[in-house]
């Protein structure tokens, strides 16, 4: 005899984010501002329990329906920040999306203002969270131009781990010299558990100036020749590759 399983419920703000309507923080703002109704009743609690299958959510009188999932890559230019809005009035990654017919999408993780290159964006908040989670151990590959001629000894020191100024040991998964010029060189660095400004902090501890920092790959998905400031959808094969790489990651090879 079958028993009916209880319907799984989640918070209202999270439900709006999962539906692809907006970010969870923006959803909470809308709810507190009295712009959201749940089953016809005004709801001001972002954590109000919602059944994704059975409850009706409205924002400003319009029903919110599930939106198609969107997965994009953007070649983030240097000098823009990866936030929806900036209190200092700086340009954000959304500036590059102006004029497109895209619904709301959010950056997956961050690249700091001075960094550039591959940034994923999606309205699939749970997928984005898995990509960005440190425990997923998804490789992120960077090409880094530094203002000195880094020796093989320096490369080995980076490979073994560098102690940051706060005493934290910062480690890379892989590093090699990519190109060597007369006064500076490029390094290829792979991280699988990126910490805030990790590469810059490692170079600072070695008193090496970072001239450019470009993310060129997430997992096996490559930035390629996508122009600066341009974006495109991930191909089906790229999305499947990332999903497969995440399934194969996690402690002791367990799925995450």
Annotated catalytic residues are 112
Buried b or exposed e, range 68-82, using 16+ CB within 10 angstroms: eebbbbbbbbeebbb
Give the DSSP letter of residue 83: S
Give the span between the Cα atoms of 67 and 211, in whole angstroms: 41
Give how far the C-alpha of residue 227 lies from the chain's centroid of Cα atoms, to the nearest Å: 19
Tell me the DSSP string of 216-247. Answer: EEETTEE-TTPPTT-EEEPPHHHHHHHHHHHH
E-state strands within the chain: 9-11, 36-38, 41-42, 49-51, 57-59, 62-63, 71-76, 106-107, 116-122, 140-146, 162-163, 169-170, 174-180, 185-191, 210-218, 221-222, 231-233
């Amino acid at each position: 005899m079958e028993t009916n399983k209880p319907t799984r419920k989640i918070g209202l703000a999270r439900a709006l984010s999962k539906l692809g309507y907006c970010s969870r923080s923006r959803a909470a703002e809308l709810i507190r501002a009295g712009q959201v109704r749940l089953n016809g009743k005004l709801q001001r609690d972002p954590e109000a329990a919602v059944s994704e299958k059975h409850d009706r959510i409205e924002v400003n009188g319009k029903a919110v329906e599930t939106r198609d999932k969107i997965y994009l890559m953007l070649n983030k230019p240097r000098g823009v920040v990866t936030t929806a809005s900036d209190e200092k009035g700086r340009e954000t990654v959304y500036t590059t999306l102006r004029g497109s017919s895209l619904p709301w999408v959010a950056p997956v993780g961050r690249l700091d203002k001075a960094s550039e290159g591959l940034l994923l964006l999606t309205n699939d908040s749970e997928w984005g969270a898995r990509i960005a989670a440190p425990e997923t151990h998804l490789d992120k590959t960077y090409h880094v131009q530094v203002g000195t001629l880094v020796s093989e000894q320096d490369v080995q020191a980076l490979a073994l781990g560098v102690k940051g100024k706060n005493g934290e040991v910062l480690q890379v998964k892989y590093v090699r010299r990519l190109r060597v010029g007369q006064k500076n060189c490029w390094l290829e660095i792979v991280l699988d558990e990126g910490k805030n400004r990790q590469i810059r902090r490692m170079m600072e501890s070695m008193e090496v100036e970072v001239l450019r920092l470009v993310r060129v790959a997430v997992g096996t998905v490559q930035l390629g020749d996508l122009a600066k400031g341009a974006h495109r959808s991930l191909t089906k094969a790229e999305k499947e590759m990332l999903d497969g790489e995440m399934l194969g990651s996690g402690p002791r090879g367990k799925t995450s």
